Structure 1
Amino acid sequence: MLKRVIKILTNKPTKIDRPVFTKYFEKENKQIKDLEQLLKISNDASKKIIEQDIKKLRYGHIGENNVYYELKNSFIPMICLHNVRLKYKGMVAQIDFLAITCKYIYVIECKNLIGDITINSQGEFIRHMKNSHGKVISKEGMYSPIVQNEKHINILKEILKQELKYKNKLKRVESLIVTANPKTIINKTYAPKYISDKIIRHDQIIDKIQSYESDNKTNWVFIEDDMRKISEILLKYHKEAKIDYNKKYNLPIKGDKKYNTYTSSKYNDIKKEAYSKKNQVKIKSDEELRRLLKTYRLQRSKQDNLQPYMIFNNSTMEELIKIRPKDLYELRNIRGFGETKCEKYGKDLINMII
């Protein structure tokens, strides 16, 4: 206690004078390198999906590199960690950057957003995709990065509460959403203040942190021992993700001619069910399928408490009608259907279409 008091009274809570990384940013992304190797043994169907995932990972890595550059070249005394995957009581929090200063713990989510984003008065995020002439060609809802980061923060708080017995100090955890794509325009005109204040461009992150740090109302600080202890605890709970690439991308198993399913056995069940229906049920007309998709979209939007276009918009609906995906491989190639939506709506849509 005396040590803490002396450090606070002398206004020297830490000897750190610039950012110190206890978990470094890796210039070469291991997952990208792994996927590049998998391309050499992948089949035609999985190759396309792997190439898409590599593109997304590269794009995201560029965004994180921009944030890393800003943090590293600031002169803010802080301990930083990159790419921390906290696992606690069956829950997982994937955090892009953590920055621990004498006053706050910043949980930083990097978003390399594509298209222009509007945040409405309800805090909903709506993506507008434009063509080469600048005309909006589609509009779709997206999962709120604010909500996503808050879930990560809740897990982090539970860990600090258990390990360090923190209570009031947990109020010092701040969420920051950093957009790393300079071409993306975010319209925050009607966004609630608690949301608009937390969304910034990567070149604004240092100014934002400094504004928090200059708050003289804070009556308690983390000394260097606290900062390092927090870092050690979080690294203790960091668990690298183990990805079964064979299972995820339907790759051949060494010594076996059989192939795995795309993501899990239930996806294989969907394909079998779809095949069976295809051979028993008369093909639906475009108009009938459009009516079924609209009805389903409305029902799911009420069930999930979302706007209908956030399930899928009209442009995506027409693509579903035109392509008529018969399994999750084909569904994933339709704009707007990533793993999350395939997981949530895939079985229903395939059974409806086939």
Structure 2
Amino acid sequence: MGLFNRIKEPIFLKESSNAEIQIEKLKALKPLLNPEGQNIIEQDIKHLEYGIVGEKNIAFELKNSHMTMYILHDVYLEDGDISAQIDYLVFTKKICFVIECKNLYGDIEINSAGDFIRTTDFRGRKKKEGIYSPLTQNQRHLELMKKLKVDNKNNILTKFVVGKYFEDNYKSVVVLANPKTILNAKFAKKEVKEKVIRADQLVKYIKNMYEQSKEIGVSDERLLEWAQSFLELQKEMLKDYTDKYEQYKIYKDKAVKSIQKIIPTVEDKKATTIIVKLPVEETEIFKELKAYRLNKSREENIKPYFIYNDKQLKDLISKMPRNNDELQAVAGFGELKINKYGNDILKIMSKY
């Protein structure tokens, strides 16, 4: 009952961010790269740090809203090869707000076609460029959320009801977190304009949407269950950008992208190490883990990628985990998957 005693104020059920952990990983990797790679990774670190600042601005607004809500920050959802990284899910008694945070520099214009155009000023010269629509990105998040909720229902009628009324209970909103950004949406369509706001407008926006909603508010207990249902769907995944720096490394990686063969020489009959470069797909560990995935999928009558897809398989080999804690750092491996397949996978990994 402790949570319900605090329900008059916002409660973060998940406040941590994987981006902060990722920054530490990139900082540790930086000294192992050549100068060109260090320049690239430094820019990536700055972009991640910039994004974190924007998300903290939103967290500040939500914490000071004095509203009844549960909040999930940095939620990763996955269904086969489809995934979504959602900045914030904010659950009120009527609506779940799906928030995409954009800490954009420059001024943003949304034209009548719904295109996002950014204008930047560098030493007196203005530059205009189109950017990927965050509304489109957030709509894809909503579609995955809907699919997961429908698929988790047990009977056809319940699936139909959840699918039909999903849009009434879930609303997309893009929040521009940089206070210096100027938003020009005067030519945008009404349905687009209403979904893009500044961070200092967020609390007012949520309150207005809540008051205008004709939905019946759920109980405190049901509200918590609603938020926890997505917390349970959350996958523990770290975004791994390390593959892109492979070409800049100045040391031999332990990731099994090369193998060593010990060959005795005729002259001195001593062992000489020869490094034979192989694509990761041709290594023995890749083949064994792929065979395990196939056999397991046939046993359970599911698609192989439900266990882990090829990208996750490569991440598994790159990190070479030796226990469950290290396995959690691999893309796509949450508690449920580790409990189900972890022992088998670690047994295979221990051979290499």
> TM-score normalised by the shorter chain: which range applies?
0.5 to 0.7
**Comparing 79-88 with 249-258, which one deviates more in the overlay?**
249-258
- Any conservation in 1 of the 2:101–2:176 contact (CA below 8 Å)? yes
* Correspondence for 1:234: 230
State the distance in 2 between where 1:151 and 1:160 align.
14
**Comparing 73-82 with 166-175, which one deviates more in the overlay?**
166-175
State the TM-score, normalizing by the size of structure 1: 0.64
State the distance in 1 between where 2:207 and 2:194 align.
14
* Correspondence for 1:75: 66
State the distance in 1 between where 2:6 and 2:21 align.
34
| SS, match of residue 44 in structure 2 | helix
**Aligned CA distance change for structure 1 residues 111 and 255 (closer, same or farther; 3 Å):** closer
| SS, match of residue 147 in structure 2 | helix
After superposition, give the CA deviation of every residue in 1:192-243 in whole Å (9 maximum; x if it has no partner): 111111111111100000001112x514222223322222221222123345
Query: How is 1:156-167 mapped onto 2 (pairs within 5 angstroms)?
Result: 156-164=145-153, 165=158, 166-167=162-163
State the distance in 1 between where 2:239 and 2:18 align.
20
After superposition, give the CA deviation of every residue in 1:114-160 in whole Å (9 maximum; x if it has no partner): 21111110001111121233x41x22111111111000011111122
* Correspondence for 2:220: 224
**Aligned CA distance change for structure 1 residues 129 and 258 (closer, same or farther; 3 Å):** same
State the distance in 2 between where 1:60 and 1:176 align.
17
| SS, match of residue 221 in structure 2 | helix
* Correspondence for 2:36: 45
**Aligned CA distance change for structure 1 residues 255 and 197 (closer, same or farther; 3 Å):** closer
State the distance in 1 between where 2:256 and 2:71 align.
46
* Correspondence for 1:195: 192
* Correspondence for 1:208: 205
Q: Which amino acid aligns with 2:10?
A: P
**Mind listing any 5+ residue stretches in structure 1 that lack a counterpart?**
1-12, 260-264, 266-354
State the TM-score, normalizing by the size of structure 2: 0.64
- Any conservation in 2 of the 1:145–1:177 contact (CA below 8 Å)? yes
State the distance in 1 between where 2:196 and 2:88 align.
15
* Correspondence for 1:121: 112
State the distance in 2 between where 1:22 and 1:31 align.
21
> 1:28 Cα shift?
8.3
> 1:33 Cα shift?
1.3
Query: How is 1:121-140 mapped onto 2 (pairs within 5 angstroms)?
Result: 121-133=112-124, 135-136=125-126, 138-140=127-129
State the distance in 1 between where 2:36 and 2:142 align.
37
After superposition, give the CA deviation of every residue in 1:148-182 in whole Å (9 maximum; x if it has no partner): 10000111111222335424441210111100111
* Aligned match for 2:78, one of 71, 74, 87: 87
How much identity, in percent, do the aligned residues show?
Answer: 37
- Any conservation in 2 of the 1:24–1:82 contact (CA below 8 Å)? yes
State the distance in 2 between where 1:173 and 1:36 align.
37
Higher strand share: 2
State the distance in 2 between where 1:257 and 1:99 align.
42
- Any conservation in 2 of the 1:116–1:128 contact (CA below 8 Å)? yes
State the distance in 1 between where 2:87 and 2:230 align.
13
* Correspondence for 1:178: 175
**Aligned CA distance change for structure 1 residues 16 and 42 (closer, same or farther; 3 Å):** same
Q: Which amino acid aligns with 2:198?
A: R
| SS, match of residue 235 in structure 2 | coil
Q: Which amino acid aligns with 1:96?
A: D
State the distance in 2 between where 1:88 and 1:30 align.
24
* Correspondence for 2:143: 154
